[in-house]
Amino acid sequence: MVLSLLLLLLLSVCNASHFFGTVMTYYPSYTDINQTVQVVLRAKMNFHLCSQLTRWSCSSLNCGTEILLPNTVIDRESSDDWCQYEEISTRQVPNNAPFLLMLSGGSWVGNNNGITNWRAITVVDVRNRSDTNKANSSPQTTILPLLRVPSNCQRDFNLLAFDSDGDNVRCRYGDASLSECYTCTQPPVLNLSASCTLSFSPTSSSNEGAYVVQMVMEDFPKQNITLTQTNGSQEVKSNNDAVSKIPVQFVVSVDPVVPSCTEGLYLPKFLPPTPDNGAHLYTLVNQSLTIAIKAETLNATMSELLYSGPSSINQTTSGPGHYIMTWTPSQREDGESHPICFVVQATYNGVKYHSELRCVVVAVKAPPLFRHKVVVALKIKVSPSSPVSEEDIRIGIIQKVKHELDSRGIASNVTLRLVKTDTATPSPDC
């Protein structure tokens, strides 16, 4: 009896292992008439199986009261490599003093940098910013639980680092002295830049295997700002002081040598209309946004699209290498920007190959009105046979030029305006 209980305990501990990392982001939701601040926290939780659950905890004094929505699965790899689910919670805090959330426990998936226990920290700061006159929000990013690269190929993983307050976002590896990870051994095969690019260079096949990446992403104001708390106390942050801090933790698998690193053979290659990495897309509340993704491989079989983003994304496949993601933001996401990252996976003889990583930012608001406004100044010399007024030029000549542009297929929403006229004295030989 005791033995079986012990076994059961051991089993459930084993079951709780196989952590694949986490990402946490937050947005302030509103400041009440009674000055209560709400913050919506979105944690991406990565495990081997969707049934492996854990919770972020708050150890500060002013964590307020938490409303936790049911977990929803974002995506899972079809052969159960991993599952990513989203844990959305709302905290109603009595005042907007910064607070700290922590995740700790269990065991990471087996890895070459010898990390066993997981730990992650989020610093939530929703104080009013003097530059935007609004509550602060965290950098926005997401990541897949597992990214693959063959050991003989070069690859840059350009992580999405967006901040809706307009801050500079910087990345660094976690620091054990700040409790940002429990064992913070960095993956020796990966270089991380402050601008959040993780670079892998071809390495010996003896380095193949999984590596745990434990990063911290922070937002730095572009100039000095003042943060104001509900009770009136203020703090100045310079462009060297981070406001928030979020964890970005995942696994990079360095896989066996591929016969060719050229995209489109074994490693899937993205084709149009797949959005570019870093593209900004726009949609509105209750309005579906469709993202079409197309990829090909000659020497491997396209198997699936893997993605991370809001859990309300729907994905369909419309043929090999053709995928469609649909997202309809709800009222709660109004005005916010949400990241979506994806790779496509192909297989050959049971070996899995990933495309490059691409990420886009979806803003739930109207797009800027003149996104591609181009101003062209034209200087035209007109030699009329009879005297003309400025009015004649405005109506007659401008209209002729417009008509000519239209007939040559130049976009019909081009507007023409007469800036100024100069009457030149006709030269003697005219």
Ligand X SMILES: *[C@@H]1O[C@H](CO)[C@@H](O)[C@H](O)[C@H]1NC(C)=O
d(CA 201, CA 273): 29
Does residue 328 bind ligand X (CB under 6 A)? yes
Q: Which one among 128, 151, 249, 283 touches ligand X, defined by CB under 6 A?
A: 128
The residue among 79 and 233 lying less far from ligand X, judged by its C-beta, is 233
Dihedral sign of CA atoms 125, 168, 20, 329 in order: positive
Residue type, 258: V
Q: Which one among 12, 177, 413, 423 touches ligand X, defined by CB under 6 A?
A: 413
Does residue 265 bind ligand X (CB under 6 A)? yes
Does residue 191 bind ligand X (CB under 6 A)? yes
Closest distance of CB 97 from ligand X, Å:
4
Does residue 319 bind ligand X (CB under 6 A)? no
Closest distance of CB 385 from ligand X, Å:
36
Does residue 411 bind ligand X (CB under 6 A)? yes
Q: Binding residues for ligand X, how many (CB under 6 A)?
A: 36
The residue among 103 and 227 lying less far from ligand X, judged by its C-beta, is 227
Does residue 260 bind ligand X (CB under 6 A)? yes
Q: Which one among 22, 25, 89, 96 touches ligand X, defined by CB under 6 A?
A: 96
The residue among 89, 8, 9, 10 whose CA lies nearest residue 45 is 89
Residues 23-42 interacting with ligand X (rule: CB under 6 A): 31-32, 34, 36
Q: Using only C-alpha atoms, what is the Rg of the chain?
A: 27
The residue among 109, 131, 102, 107 whose CA lies nearest residue 118 is 107
Per-residue string for binding with ligand X, 145-184, x by CB under 6 A? Answer: ----------------------------------------
Q: Which one among 326, 389, 399, 421 touches ligand X, defined by CB under 6 A?
A: 326
Does residue 133 bind ligand X (CB under 6 A)? yes
Dihedral sign of CA atoms 293, 296, 297, 300 in order: positive
Q: Which one among 177, 331, 349, 386 touches ligand X, defined by CB under 6 A?
A: 331
The residue among 52, 44, 42 whose CA lies nearest residue 21 is 44
Does residue 415 bind ligand X (CB under 6 A)? no
273 cis-preceded (ω within 30 degrees of 0): yes
Q: Which one among 3, 70, 232, 429 touches ligand X, defined by CB under 6 A?
A: 232
CA geometry: angle at 95 spanning 91 and 97, to 5°?
Answer: 90
Closest distance of CB 139 from ligand X, Å:
21
Closest distance of CB 233 from ligand X, Å:
3
Does residue 233 bind ligand X (CB under 6 A)? yes
Name beta bridge partners: 43. Answer: 24, 87
Closest distance of CB 230 from ligand X, Å:
4
Three-state secondary structure along 340-388?
EEEEEEEEECCEEEECCCEEEEEEECCCCCCCCCCCCCCCCCCCCCCCC
Q: How far is CA 408 from the centre of its chain?
A: 40
Ramachandran angles phi, psi of 3, nearest 5°? -65, -45
Does residue 317 bind ligand X (CB under 6 A)? no
Q: Taking contact as CB under 6 A, which single stretch among the options 68-76, 82-90, 324-332, 419-427 is the one that binds ligand X?
A: 324-332
d(CA 221, CA 167): 5
Residue 283 token pair: 């949609």
Does residue 397 bind ligand X (CB under 6 A)? no
Per-residue string for binding with ligand X, 53-82, x by CB under 6 A? Answer: ------------------------------
CB 418 within 8 A of CB 393: yes
Strands 146-150 and 245-255: parallel
Name beta bridge partners: 267. Answer: 263
The residue among 209, 72, 212, 56 whose CA lies nearest residue 143 is 212
Does residue 97 bind ligand X (CB under 6 A)? yes
Q: Which one among 179, 228, 277, 347 touches ligand X, defined by CB under 6 A?
A: 228
CB 277 within 8 A of CB 283: no
Q: Which residue has the tokens 């949609």?
A: 283
Closest distance of CB 37 from ligand X, Å:
7
Does residue 132 bind ligand X (CB under 6 A)? no
d(CA 323, CA 221): 38
Q: Which one among 199, 207, 226, 315 touches ligand X, defined by CB under 6 A?
A: 199
List residues binding ligand X (CB under 6 A): 31-32, 34, 36, 96-97, 128, 133, 189, 191, 199, 201, 224, 228-233, 236, 238, 259-260, 265, 285-286, 288, 298-299, 314, 326, 328, 331, 370, 411, 413
